[in-house]
Each structure stands twice: as C-alpha cells, then as structure tokens.
Amino acid sequence: MQLDSLSYVELVQLKTDVEAEIARREQEEKAKARKQILEIARNFGLSVEDVLSKPAATRKPVEAKYRHPEDASLTWTGRGRKPVWVVELLAAGKTLEQLAI
C-alpha cells in the first residue's frame, strides 16, 4: 500500500480503521491470555485469588543485642530508636558494649 498515493480523507479513514482493528485484536489477545492464565492456574490447583494475592511476608524476629544489666526482660535489637532505658544508661556513663549480650 502506497500511503503517499492516498488522499487526506482516505488516510484519516485508514487511521480510524487501523485503530479499530487494533482495539479489536487487543480484546482478543487479552481474552486468550486470560484463558491461558486460568488454565495454568487450574493445572497447578490455584484459584484466581491465589494467583492475585501477594504471599504474606514472613520475617523472622531479630535477636536482641543489648540487655538491661539489672532487668533481663528489657532488651533491644539495636535497630530503630533507642529505648528510654538505653538512653538513661548511656547518659549515666554506660556504653553500648557494656549492655551487649
């Protein structure tokens, strides 16, 4: 097809026809893809909800690195803000090395 031989009106009509065909084919391709995805999910025994849901992030707890010298129930992992008891002991002259487990 020689585009330079078409008139402006013919080019506009061609553009409209091409866009309509693209939209139609996009619908077909999406329907095929949806069918394939469902088939694969069924083959693996998965529901649509299983496929679309994110797996729950399982984070293992971080071990404590610091412990209060007098109250063993007070611990800190060393992450995040320092607990009040750590701040108070540091202000009293203790070091983190002295609080290390």
Dig out the tokens for 97 from the structure: 């090395």
pLDDT higher than 90, residue 17: yes
- Residue 55: pLDDT above 80? no
* Per-residue confidence (pLDDT) for residue 52, from 0 to 100: 84
Domain boundaries, the chain: 3-52, 66-99
The string of DSSP codes covering 6-51 is: S-HHHHHHHHHHHHHHHHHHHHHHHHHHHHHHHHHHHHTT--HHHH
pTM (2 decimals)? Answer: 0.47
Condensed to tens digits (0 to 9), the pLDDT of residues 59-87 reads 888 999 999 999 999 999 999 999 999 99
Residue 73: its pLDDT value, please? 93
Per-residue pLDDT tens over the stretch 24-47: 999 999 999 999 999 999 999 998
Inter-CA distances, 83 with 8, 74, 88, Å: 75, 9, 9
